[in-house]
Structure 1
């Protein structure tokens, strides 16, 4: 049986989406047929239920399913999109978006279609990134101009026309995913995403990731890791290899050692893996903060507003230290209220 989805046009925001002529069963059959494609992002391969989620979400946005499959990433239950897709949603709604910047700062402006007398503007500087603890991330070191523009675009879109985003409020990087220069996630919630990791400059037929996956134990993965490093593999790629090694038999758990006893760092202590660990720590600290806010009688929106008032930035871009400090304050408030 051949199953096809109805064509969906990029209708203006507010216009009804193309009618869903297919039943859920037919859509699921479509997703099962598509799930076997090796060209899909990793989170959708052999996952027809995940594909069905993307198809349904695309319908709610008035997008073609493939736009959602390739451009929207669900992180900890929250949909996120690249700054390019956020820009497209803003412009599709009829608003004007202007962006400029360099490696020191980026400025994004939006002029709403229904209020052209007012300009919404957000400026995000390298100093803002430093205060937010972002400059230690590999992608910020390598592509500061692109990351500054992405931050400015998403921030001004939230301020000026949140209704055009239809629930996609943040980029993956703002939700603590480790991303490549185009904003595609490399690391999400403890899982390395192979698809968008830059390959090393060794021979075109050398696939270090495949070799690591086939290695029988952690020692074998370490040997592959060392060869990849010698071949000039970038930090994100080495982090992916290290993540594979941690799941292999014989993987060692790093323990604190005196400085004089440290001879050589394990791959899991590589800078990129440290970035990934920082992302995981930040996500855990943010969850603790929201739990403390709930205990203090605040909902998520109130918690966000309280955090912004106290620290001058959104919780989504906060450092671990800021989140923990807020958690302490909230717990004290909850104790006082009790």
Structure 2
């Protein structure tokens, strides 16, 4: 795990970037939330700016702040970098419209497999979020992945909410802007 910057450094980083319009809305002018994201990200091996970009807080329809969550590619990277992941396999059966994720830990013989059907995507529940309807195969794959990783690696996931599991959320990453996993590799 990378060394945690001292708290004075984290405070300076948060104060420095809090005025930026590049930040997600919930971090703008909010150095306390930036510090929280940096500290939480450190727990998962993320660098400070990776944490600020990929640890988000859901803004509810009434404007109130809700659950803290990470983008699905970040959860995948955290698991792969954990040292206990033997493999993660994913595929999509286009005939049956079913996504599957299989994964296995190095310290267990059990293979965890979870599936998610495109037909299981609830219609009309995603206000301001059309990704599930525009990319049902990718959405189903993210759901299958999230459920498999939650079940196979509960000690690593340890309460991390994932954008694809938190319902009715405006997920900021589209397929064309996903960040390559290599960018999340630990030092």
TM-score bracket for the superposition, by shorter chain length: 0.7 to 0.9
User: Where does residue 90 of structure 1 map in the other structure?
Assistant: 79
Return the alpha-carbon distance in structure 2 between the equivalents of residues 153 and 176 of structure 1: 18
Query: Deviations 1:131-187 (Å, cap 9, x if unpaired)?
Result: xx246642222110110011001100111001122321332553321335638xxxx
Quote the offset at 1:102 in angstroms: 5.1
Residues 103-118 of structure 1 mapped to structure 2, 5 A cutoff: 104-115=97-108, 117-118=109-110
Distance change in 2, residues 1:166/1:35 (3 Å)? same
Superposition deviation, residue 26 in structure 1 = 4.0
Distance 2:41 2:111 in 1: 30
Partner of 2:183: none
Q: Tell me, in whole angstroms, the C-alpha distance in 1 between the residues paired with 2:172 and 2:72.
A: 12
Residue aligned with 2:156, SS: helix
- The equivalent of 1:139 in structure 2 is 131
Query: More helix by proportion, 1 or 2?
Result: 1
Cα offset for 1:28? 1.8
Higher strand share: 2
TM-score (normalizing by structure 2): 0.75
Q: Please, which runs of 5 or more residues in structure 1 have no aligned partner?
A: 1-10, 12-16, 184-338
Partner residue of 1:156? 148
Q: Distance in 2 between matches of 1:122 and 1:100?
A: 11
Q: Counterpart of 2:166 in 1: which secondary structure?
A: helix
CA RMSD of aligned residues (A): 2.3
Q: What's the CA shift for 1:83?
A: 1.6
Number of aligned positions between the proteins: 162
Could you tell me which runs of 5 or more consecutive residues in structure 2 were left unpaired when the two chains were aligned. 59-64, 176-187
